[in-house]
Amino acid sequence: MNALEAMGLGWVVLAGGFSAVALGRLLSQRRRAPGSTRVPVLLLRPVDVPTERELENLSRPIDYEGPLTHVVLSPQRPRLPEDVLWLRSDPGAPNRKVGHLLYALEKLPRDGRVVLVVDADVAVTGELVEGLAAPVAAGAALSTAVPTPVGERALADRAVAGLLRRTHHSFRALHVMSAGARAVCGKALGLSDRAVEELRALEDHIGEDLELSKRLHAKGLEVELCEVPAVVPMASGTWSAALARFTRWMQVLSSHRPGLYPTVPLLFTPTWPLLALSLFTGSMWLSAGVAGLLLVRTLLSWRLSILTTPISPLPPGEGRGEGAGFTSPGPMLWDWLLGEALLLAAFMTSLVRPSRVTWRGRTYALHSGGRMSPELGGGRG
C-alpha cells in the first residue's frame, strides 16, 4: 500500500466515522410536537427590495392562535395585505438586517411580546411562529429553525436544496454535531431580551447569527432548535448565483470559526475527492471504503429528509411530492452529491478570494470575527 492509498483510507475512516456518529444521533431523535404557546408575538420581516416570491411570502395568512403583530421593515412600502404593517427603515449600518431590526425594536413597543425575526424568503405559518416563540417564552435565549428549501427544479436549485436538507450542512445535522456554540441560521429566529442586547453590538458584523450564538454560549445561555422547519419556496436560480452565495458563507466561516474552516473538505465534502482518488489509485481497499462512505451518507440523507420534511402540506407547486416519512429515491440518492459538489466548489473558490465580501450591493473588507468595514474608495460592488 503506497502513501496515497494510506492517506485516502485514513480520510475515508475519518469522514465515514463522522457521518456514522451524525447518523446515529439523528436516528435516536424523534420529531417532537412543536411547543405549544399563545403568547403575544411581534414578527419582524426585514427586507430591502422584495422579489415577487418574497412579496407572496409576506402576504401569506398566518394562522397563529395568539396575538400576532406582523411588521415588514423596508425603505419603500411594498405591496402588502391590510393586516400586515409596514415600518419605513433604511439603516446605514453595514449589516442592514441588524440595522432594520434595531431600528424597529427602538420604534415599536414590545409590551411583553416575543420577538421573532424571519427573512422574507421564508413562508411563515402559524406552526413556525408557535415553534419559534414557545422556547423563548419558556426561557431560552434564542430559538432557530432549520432552513428548508422546497420546490427545486433546476440543477442549481437541487444542489442548494440537497446541501441544506440532505448533507452534513443541514442545520439539523449541524445542531446535533455542534461542539460549543450551536449552529444557528438567521433566516428564522426567536429573540429573548438577552439576545436583543447582544444583537446591538453586531451592526458591523456579517454572519450575525454565528456571532450571536457564540456570545450567548459564552454566557451559558441556551439556544433551542425549533421542530418546525423554515420552509423556503425556491425561485429558479443559476449555478453562479448559488456558488457566490455559498462562497460568501465559506468566507464568513473562515472569519468567524477559522478552526472549523479546514473541516469543510475533510468532513463535509470528502466524497468527490475520494471518488477521484480511488479511481486514480485503482485501490480495491480504497474503493471499498468509498463505497461504505457513499452508503452511510445516503442513509444520512434519507434520515435528514424525514426530519426536515415540512409538517404541514406544502403549498401547491412548491414541493416535489415528498411525504412525511418517505422521500423518492432520486433526490435522496443524488441531490446530496450535488450539494457536496456545490459546497466543495464554494470552499475552493473562497481559498483564492480576497478577504472581502460583496453583500447587499456593497463591498466590505472582512475582518476577524466577521466584522466588516467599507472598502476605501468602494461602495457599490
Cα torsion angle, 323, 328, 330, 334, sign: positive
H or E stretch at 366: strand 362-366
| C-alpha cell belonging to residue 229 | 422547519
Task: List all residues 6 or more positions away from 79 whose beta carbon is below 8 Å from its beta carbon.
Answer: 55, 59
Number of helices and strands (H, E) in the chain? Answer: 14, 12
Q: Determine the 3-state secondary structure of 327 from DSSP.
A: coil
The C-alpha angle 100, 106, 107, rounded to 5 degrees, equals: 90
pLDDT of residue 367: 81
Question: Whose CA is closest to 172, among 331, 332, 36, 300?
Answer: 300
Instruction: Determine the Cα–Cα distance for residues 122 and 201; give it in Å rounded to an integer.
Output: 26
What does residue 176 show for φ and ψ, rounded to 5 degrees? Answer: -75, -20
Q: How far is CA 252 from the centre of its chain?
A: 13
Residue type, 191: L
Contact present, 300 and 168 (Cβ < 8 Å): yes
Quick check: pTM over 0.75? Answer: yes
Residue 313 exposure: Cα atoms within 13 Å on the Cβ side = 4
Please state, in angstroms and rounded to a whole number, the distance separating the CA atoms of residues 255 and 245.
16
User: Per-residue pLDDT tens for 109-144?
Assistant: 988 899 999 999 999 999 999 999 999 999 999 999
Burial class of 52 by CB neighbour count within 10 A (0 to 12, 13 to 18, 19+): exposed
Distances (CA, A) of 59 to 210, 300, 317, 340: 29, 35, 17, 34
Domain ranges for the chain: 8-29+249-373, 41-240
| 3-state percent helix, strand, coil for the chain, nearest multiple of 5 | 50, 15, 40
Q: Is 52 helix (H, G, I), strand (E, B) or coil?
A: helix
The CATH-assigned architecture of domain 41-240 is Alpha-Beta Complex (3.90)
Helix (H/G/I), strand (E/B), else coil: 354: coil
Q: How does strand 372-374 pair with strand 362-366?
A: antiparallel
Total residues found in the chain within this entry: 381
Burial status of residue 161 (CB atoms within 10 A of its CB: 0-12, 13-18, 19 or more): buried
Beta-carbon neighbour count of residue 65 at 10 Å? Answer: 11
> What is the per-residue pLDDT across 278-318, written as a single tens digit (0 to 9) for each?
999 999 999 999 999 999 999 999 999 888 776 655 454 44
Stretches where the chain sits below pLDDT 70 are: 33-35, 310-333, 359-361, 375-381
What is residue 208's three-state secondary structure?
A: helix
Whether 135 and 226 have beta carbons less than 8 Å apart is answered as yes
